[in-house]
Every structure is written in structure tokens, then in C-alpha cells.
Structure 1
Amino acid sequence: MTKKTNQTAEIFAWDENQRQELIGIFFWGFALTKIPSGRLAEVIGSRKVTGYSMLLASILTILTPWISKSNYYIFLSSRVLMGFLVGASWPAVMPLAARWVPPHEQTIFISCIASTAVGAGIAFQVSGFLISALGWKSVFYVFGGVSTLWSLLWFGLIYDSPQQHPRISPEEKDLIESQIRDVKIRNVRLSEIPWISILTSGPVWAIAAGQIAVFFGYMTLSNEIPSYMDQVLHLEIKQIGIFAGFPYFGAYFLSLASSHFADYLRKSGKLSTTAVRKIFEAVGLLVPAFSMLLLVFWGYLTPVAVTLFTISITTCAISSAGHCTNMLDVSPNFAGTICGLVNTFSSFTAYISTEMVTALLRKDNTFKEWRFVFAIVFGVEVVATGVYLIFCSGEKQSWDSVKTNEGREEIRPLKRKNLNQNLE
């Protein structure tokens, strides 16, 4: 959508600062809904929170070409709203996982959900061809339409618990409930959330460190790889689509493979859950980190840069068997709240990433300037690895239990209740 000179009325003359602002402002809205959406899903269910947020985001995507032509600041505001809607989806899935997925299969499930990388890969691949053939507007129409269809399928297929699903067989419902029987999930009131315990928990901060580092590195590359390939490596638009999208397919399959292996190690008793989480998180952070370090020295070479970008984005998916699933380990009851809290911090780092790129690429957008970007990502990922290895735990924390006034653990199964009653 942006060119150095206005070739047609359909191309915008945004400078580098405006371009990065349009990318970065999305993450302000993205961050603001993390905690509320996770908590809201614990109260009214993941089906509504994720479904309606994605449906509205899909409609806004389709309207983006018209919004972008109206006014720069209106377009900027729409990007905040888009982040607000999209940001609600991921934390809201955690309560759904806790009520549907047995503990020994949670790593695989979360890896499937976290492997949205395949969507990014398809988007990069298809967008290059769509732009070449039909122009940039077609990208918003096509992906907005696909996302709308997905939202409708979500409402038809997804329910918050086996008890609520109208088409599940009695045998399947009994099987699922027998496997999650030991995981006592309660419909917890807002006043019962142990905020102080959560905020002072070492394992929670370990998860936050891992998520911040992965998100910082992942979003820096996702947002900036096309510009780097265009302005530093001087590749054509179709080549950029192919090379920028390819790593995400590898990330998807590696995420699934690593999750299967992680759950195998846990079920076999060969390693504790804590050890499994630490190993997979360390690999998922350190391999991308050292890929960034190599880019500092040889990133100007196209084959080397494309290879290292691929390795970095692909291997960071291994962390889905680390900190992502770790949220369900430490607290099945408050996984949505923790996910929202952790993702709030990580979302702001994505905005910081765009500001960092703007500050460092002030002159000619050359490899010399990009070296500092790669070096900073390397440092963040190495430091986060150390934090995670020190504070990580794979055990359910004592504060996950909800106590009655008499000191007994209270079990309250998920029910459909009025929202105001749950917020008392």
C-alpha cells in the first residue's frame, strides 16, 4: 500500500514513521482486551467471546479498503479497534481447553491453537499473488471473507463444555468427563481470583518472560521481513510472498511434532512436566536467538538471510510445548486470566518492536541499521530463557484452589448464569 512516490491514487504516500505507526498501533488495542477477554470467557464462555470478536474483526477487515481512503487518523483508529477485537480471541480459548481437553493431551491442543503460524504463511504466500494480480485491496476482501466463514463455522461447531454440546454422543461425553474428572474446574467469581498470588508467582512470571520474548521476536520478524526483503535484499513481490511465508508452514508442523513428543515424555514418566517445559522453551528461544546473532554478521546475503529467517520463525514454535501449555499446568481454573495477563505484557512489546524499528531505521534502511534490530532480539530471547529456566514450574499452584468460608474446596461446575451474578 506504500510507495516512495505516488504512482497511482490507490497507493498511499506514507513515510516510514506513519507506516510503523499503522503497524504498531494495532497492538495497543490488541493488549487492552487480553485480561478482560480471558476473564469474560471464564464467566460467559469462550464460544461467545472468541466467536463474536472474530466475526466483528472479519467485517472490519472487509471494510478496511474504504476506511483507509477516508482519513489517515480514522484508519489509525480502525487499526486500534482491529487489535481490540483480535486480541480477545486467544486468552478466551484457555477456559475452553480446560473443560474439553485431558491434561495429557493439552500440549497437543494448545500447539494446534498456537500454530496460527500456518495462517500467516498462507497469508504471505497468497497475498503476493493477489497483489500482483488484483491489487492490495483484494487481500482484505479475500481474507475478511474467509474469516467471516470461519466465524460462522465456529458458532455451529464449538460449545463451552461437553454438557452443552447438542450433538456429542453420550459415549464421547462420558469419555471426556472421565479424563478430566481430576481437574476440578469451577465457575469462579471475580472476587475469588487470587490476584496477589498470581502477580507474585514465579512460575507466572516465567511464563510471561517466555511469551514476551517469543512474541517480541516473532512479531518483529512477521511485521518487518517483507520490508527487509524489499529494501535490503531487493526481492520481487512474489518472491517476498514465497520466502516470507515459507517459515510459517514449518512452524506449524514443528509445533505439532514437538507437542506430541512433549506429551509422550510426560506420559512415559521419563521426565517431569517441569523438565519438559524447560527443555522445549529453551530450544524454542535459543535457536531463534542465535539465528538473530548470525544475521547480525551475514544478514546481507540473501540465501543466508532467508535460511536464518526460516530457522528462527520455525523453531520458535517449539515454545508452544513450553510456556503456552504451562498456563494450564500451573492453574486450570485461572488459565484464561493468566493468559490475558501474560499476553497484555507481550502485546505491548510488539508495539515497542515497531517503535524500535522506527528509531533504528532513521536514515537509509540499510543492513547496517538492521544489525541493531537483530542484536536486540537476540538479547531479549537469551535473557528470557534464563528467567524461564530459573522460575518455571509444571505443577499446579496452591492458589489455584478456591476455598469456602469453612476452608473446604468448593466445586462449582460450569453453568449458564447471568453475567451480573458472576461479577458480584
Structure 2
Amino acid sequence: MPEYQSGFGNGFETEALSGALPIGRNSPQKVAYGLYAEQLSGSPFTAPRASNERSWLYRIRPSVLHTGRFTKVDSGLWRSAPDTAFHAPIGPMRWSPVPLPETPQSLIGGLHTITTAGDVATQNGMASHLYLITKSMEDEYLYNADGEMLFVPQQGNVRFWTEFGIIDAEPGEIVVIPRGVKMRVELLDGPARGYVCENYGGSFTLPERGPIGANCLANPRDFLTPVAAYEDRDDVESTLYVKWGGELWRTELRHSPLDVVAWHGNYAPYKYDLRRFSPVGPLLFDHADPSIYTALTSPSETPGTANVDFVLFPDRWAVAENTFRPPWYHLNIMSEFMGLIYGVYDAKPQGFVPGGFSLHNSMTPHGPDTEAFAQASTVELKPTKLEGTMAFMFETRYPQRVTEYAAHLGELQQNYADCWSGLEKRFTPDHP
């Protein structure tokens, strides 16, 4: 079983062989075990200490040996922003779960882009993808130079073999792979499906709690980073894929690039169990902003305005008095890609099922469907626990463009807007 270190953004240190980590220095003249010292930087060298991200890796071969002749390859259905080749009609959109393919498909061919936002070249914005995987990556490796990747498993357990160690994840957990970190993705118990947020902007971090104070929401101790583990494989034919500049490139290797024997620093992959999120909410009346469910945020240069937020809706109590408890009807400057991992989302009890997803773009009105409105408007208001549910959002300040692939999926619910058709005129000017 993989082992982990606890904490968020810590200065970790770990070694798979005793004595592999240098003591008191980063780059000694000779590294133990004949290893090479190499720094991986996730921020500019001169970034302030609080936001400076870097790790030192002690590896069997330096990464310069991975820079052979790169050739551009077909990126399949993996797209990057700006993707302006197709213009979907504006309006709310929702999809049923996309079935897993019957043919063998690893992560390399299994990433299917649904929306893109911003511009990958300026390191602003994001893209939302599905992953549909029916086989493990065998002698295949990948790193993304365009952005970090937040994986949200929905079906099937997945193993992430990374340069920093091994991470296992199941539905109800997320895994974040930073920009530039090499990995191989394996299946543990059959085909897997899930969602991916490819974040072009600043690294995900914990949001400020403000008046909430020191506790609740996503607590740092619940984030897990792997301990060092390495592959020492020679004379194997392997392929390293690199996502760079919105394109997919590859080069051939004769060894595994996952050969880091020891490392230390604060730039590393991690996982988080969404069921450990400690929600806060209204205790007397009214509905708090959904920002109280933000687990991770990628900040922008504008305070309080996220490049992208990762927001989740877990089990929780609803107790507000004289209040319409589901999310209200609204138009939002942010755009929202939403997925359902399991259970029922309280504002959309019909038609939104696990594995499905929806898009409510910037300034596109949305809110509870007719059934949810009728129920919430008439139900006896007593403490109610929402159980067995886990929905999430990738929310960004940029409009999200729907890809041609997503717009022509058979799972696109053409009559989605009909869920509000029963909201009849209720105005009674003579009777308050």
C-alpha cells in the first residue's frame, strides 16, 4: 500500500534509500548512491517566500536525458484554450454520463475535453475534461507543462505512479498533479471514469477562511503527499508524452523517468478525501454564498476573483428557518462546470445523475428545477440531513467554450431547459 505524508504545502522530505537525501545542502559535489540533484520549480525563482514553490529531486538520471527528439502527435480529443473552432449556442447545458469505451484506452487517449477557458499561452484559465480509461499506461509516461491537473475519480480506483511516489485514489477523493510532474496512471480494479480540471493559472491553494477563522472547510492535515518511490528500469522501450503549448508531444526513452530516489520541498503531488471537508453554513436564515464550499482555489491577480475554484457539495445539515434552502436562482459573473460523483444534488433531483455534468456559463441564468422549487417552497422546515451525496464545481472567471466533441455527444440533454418549464407565473398583486 502507498504511504503518505500529511499536510498542505509543507516542506516535505522523504527518501526511499537511507542516506539518499543530502543533509544541510541541496546540491553537493557528489550525491549519495551516484544520484543526480535536480530542482523542479513551480513558481518563478523570485516569488515571495509564501508563494515560492520548488522541490529538489535526487534521481538516477537527470531529466535532460528525457529531452531527445520530440515529435508532435495527435492529441485526440484533448483540447486547450482558446479553442475557437466551434461555437455552441449559449444557454445552460447538461450531459448524461458518457459510457466507457469498449476498446483499450489509456489516459493518453482517454482525455476528452468538454470546455476550455482563458488562454493556455498566457497561463490564465482552465479546461474541463472527462477521463475514460479502460487500460493502464504501459511503458507510457506523461507530464503537463501547460498546467496542473486536478483529477476527480467518479468510477473505478486509480493509481498515480509519479516521480514523487505513488498515490491511490477512489471515488470521493481527488488527486492534484502539479505542472511538470511526470506520471503513469494505472487501473486497480477495472475501467475508470472521472473528471479533470486542467488549471493553466497559479497553483491550487487553500482559500482564505476570513471570519470563519482557523478551522473547518478543507483542513491542511487531511492532504496527503506520497513518500519517495522509484523505478530503476533499463533497456525498456518507453514513451514520454509532454503536453506543451496546447499540443501533445512525445519522445522515446530506454528507461523509466520515474527514477527519483529521494526528494524534499513543497512542490509535489497530493490527494485529498472530499469526505473530510468540514462544511459551514447558515444556522438561522437565508442561504450562504456557495463560496463557503470552496476546497481549493487558483488565485488571480484580482483579489477575491479566482482563476478557478474547486467547490464541493458534500453531506451536510440544512437547518435554516423560513428559508428557501436550495441554491437560489441567479446569474453569475463566474462560469460553472458541475459534476456529480455520487448521490443526488438537491437542486436537480431529476436528470442529473452520477457521472453526468453540466455547464452554466457566465451570466447564464440557472437554479433549482421545477420539482426542487415545489418541494423547497412547501416542505415543513425541520432539520434535514443531505446524505450520500457529492457534487462539485470547477468555477472560473472566464467564459467556458464548449468543444465540438462535447456539443455533439449523444449524451447532451437537448431538453435540459425544460426542467424549468413548470415554473408558472405565481404573481398575486392583491394577496401578499
Structure 2 length-normalised TM:
0.23
More strand as a share of residues: 2
Structure with greater helix share of residues: 1
- Of structures 1 and 2, the one with the larger relative CO (CA 8 A, separation 6+) is 1
